Structure 1
Amino acid sequence: MMFRILLTHTPAALALQFPPKARDALARHGTVMLNPTGAVLEGASLAEAARGCDLVIADRQTAVGAAFFDAAPDVLAVMRCAVDISTIDVAAASAQGVLVTRSIPTFAASVAELALGLIIDAARGISRATTAYRAGRTPEIAMGAQLSGQTLGICGFGVIGRYLAALAQALGMQVIITDPAPGTLPGGIRAVPFETLLGASDVVVCLAPATPQTAGMFGAQAFGLMKPSAIFVNLARAALLDETALEQALEHGQIACAAMDVGSAPDQRPAPALAGRADVIATPHIGGQTPQAAEGQALHVVEQVAQMALGRVPDEAVNAADATRFQARLATRPPADRSAT
């Protein structure tokens, strides 16, 4: 089965998130259409670009809402080139019989390494000194924090948290975690209640998924339980953080500093006002922006397309039972092709 496939990525996003190797592999399964506007597709422009397409591969900036599914009768599947599918209205897709899939977290090492870099910077003032030198000033010599012997608290012990824990242990840090379903813990790691973790940790890293239960978990109460010398790092989602409460905690010395790769600005980037503070280290949502992570995720989407070409629903489908359009397409194939499934 061959498809007509729309890649929604802007030219800049395409270069970073769907490299040539993945695009060449995707072209083996049909005709690949690129974003015709050069801008983020939304609303009517997204529906128009997807006209006549079977599959839509959506990048992280492209929101796919209910109006799109009403206006895109040809689309069999919307395939998110990311793990997070919060930008896709899955209920609306299911109501129209459209399959929705997500990718797998090929970025664990990349995000964990960034977390470690942010922690080291926060502990030793690397970017602060660099900024001063570049501005022609002599940096203030301040006492840094040695990470060996300190306690790292990880909130959310998924693939990134496990990778980060191993890196921290290699540096001689003690690691504690909080997670409602942590699974089997590696040696030397303890699971503790959230409040206990906040009070005991020298560095707190937020890696929890964004759910109704985790919304706003880092607010005034949480920061009030942390050490005045603590470093807070957010690599999850803005929804987990009360940014005003964080700013107040920094202002009143409840914690020492913060670092973040995510926030409430467009494309889930840190909010400029918060990121611009002298006691904040911020990066523009680059956790997964390494060649290995980006290529791995894009190639996984291609693998899903290959499975669909064989008449199979990918394992990472989130609404397989509702994919009636894809099932109807399968029913129209010649008997010889159906035997391949």
Structure 2
Amino acid sequence: MFRMFLTHTPEALELLFPPSARADLARHGTLVLNPGPDVLGGAALARAAAGCDLVIADRQTGLDAAFFEAAEDVLAVMRCAVDISTIDVAAASARGVLVTRSIPTFAASVSELALGLMIDAARGISRAVTAYRTGQEPGVAMGLQLQGSTLGLCGYGVIGRHLAGLAQALGMRVLITDPAPGALPPGIEALPFDQMLARADVVVCLAPATPQTVGLFGSSAFARMKPGALFLNLARAALVDEPALEAALDSGQIACAALDVGSGPDQRPPSRLAGRPDVIATPHIGGQTPQASEGQALHVASQVAQLAQGLLPPEAVNAEAATRLRARGAAFISPTGA
């Protein structure tokens, strides 16, 4: 049986780790909750988690070297999200702490938000709503009909595949650029990045954040896009050079940007971009649906169940370094027996 610390603040716990997932966790030990409104980190988080075997971390909680140095009891850190960029995996490995991540249960949720942002950007819906609400008469401008238009997806993972299907249902042509796209459904064409940019009316950034993709959308990328194209980012802030995006908007090269992520706190779009009339911004809510949140929380609970059986979850990112778990007395193995 494990003693488990959930880093979620009370507000985040209510949104992101529902009672069904907590009940699943409770089958394998005792839950300890973050009692206060603050996101904990470093030595403060280690003190709060003292005596706990597992730390289940929400996306806002960073786990740095100071945490791993002080967290002498922790056997594993389990991220209730896919992104582990704020976990110092090297420091965890050096201390023998297992790190796991959840799976992307948010494909439908993020894709539906992308579709909504795309329609808004194409027709100026939020601009008109804002004008009416402030007592002004909105201007009447020609919109972009999505049927017959071309969607360019930079990244063809679980979200890209789902969004491509939605776009095809609307009658859009779909182009993708991805280093390993796999087999493509009929009607979807894979192109090099520059060619996709030149042909797409709407470009959606869905690529993973890696050292190779940092700043992928900069001045040269925006210059290659069709004049007046629409740009959406639902991936990570690091992929977009925000000053270059602002310059592209100022020049009219990009007619509108729709952003669910950015360089603000918790990966939210920064206020300087979000407040522009040619930007539609949402506060990093792509995965904020009950189905998506519950799916990730239940998956973490299933990982705890695997640990209770002496199995290392497939989503472990440093399985070979999990010496604290092995020292507990069980021969922890991968689900395949390797």
* Structure 1 length-normalised TM: 0.96
Q: Which residue of structure 2 lines up, in the alignment, with residue 159 of structure 1?
A: 158
SS at match of 1:31: strand
User: 1:146-295 residue pairs with structure 2 within 5 A?
Assistant: 146-295=145-294
What is the CA distance between 1:37 and its match in structure 2?
2.5
CA contact (8 A) 1:311 1:330 kept: no
Q: What number of residue pairs does the alignment pair up? A: 332
1:133 Cα deviation from its structure 2 partner? 1.1
What's the counterpart of residue 339 of structure 1?
A: none
1:332 deviates by 9.5
SS for the counterpart of 2:244 is: helix
Match of 1:61 in 2: 60
Instruction: Determine the C-alpha separation between the residues in 2 that align with 1:228 and 1:272.
Output: 25
Q: Deviations along 1:9-41, whole A, 9 cap, x unmatched?
A: 111111111111111211111110111232100
Would the aligned equivalents of 1:132 and 1:138 in 2 still touch at CA under 8 Å? yes
1:104 aligns with 2:103: yes
Structure 2 SS opposite 1:294: helix
Question: SS at 1:204's partner residue?
Answer: strand
TM superposition outliers: structure 1 runs of 4+ over 4 Å:
none
Q: How does 1:132-143 map to 2 (within 5 A)?
A: 132-143=131-142
Q: CA RMSD in A?
A: 1.1
CA distance in 2, matches of 1:332, 1:243: 48
Aligned-residue offset at 1:251: 0.3
Q: 1:3, CA displacement in angstroms? A: 0.5
Identity value in percent: 74
Q: Aligned partners of 1:54, 1:268: CA distance in 2, in Å?
A: 29
SS of equivalent residue, structure 1 residue 33: strand
Q: Distance in 2 between matches of 1:251 and 1:104?
A: 38
Match of 1:33 in 2: 32
Corresponding residue for residue 299 of structure 1 = 298
Structure 2 counterpart SS, 1:85: coil
**C-alpha separation in 1, matches of 2:330 and 2:16:** 34
CA distance in 2 between counterparts of 1:122 and 1:173 reads: 15
SS of equivalent to 1:153: strand
Q: Distance in 2 between matches of 1:290 and 1:261?
A: 14
| Alpha carbons 1:36, 1:49 under 8 Å: kept | no
> Can you list the C-alpha shifts for 1:244-284, whole angstroms capped at 9, x where unaligned?
00000000111111001000011010011101100000000
Distance 1:17 1:183 in 2: 32
Q: 1:44 Cα shift? A: 2.0
* Structure 1: gaps of 5 or more residues: 334-341
Deviation digits for residues 119-156 of structure 1, max 9, x if unmatched? 00000111111111111112111111100000000001
Residue in structure 2 matched with residue 330 of structure 1 by the alignment: 329
Amino acid at match of 1:182: P
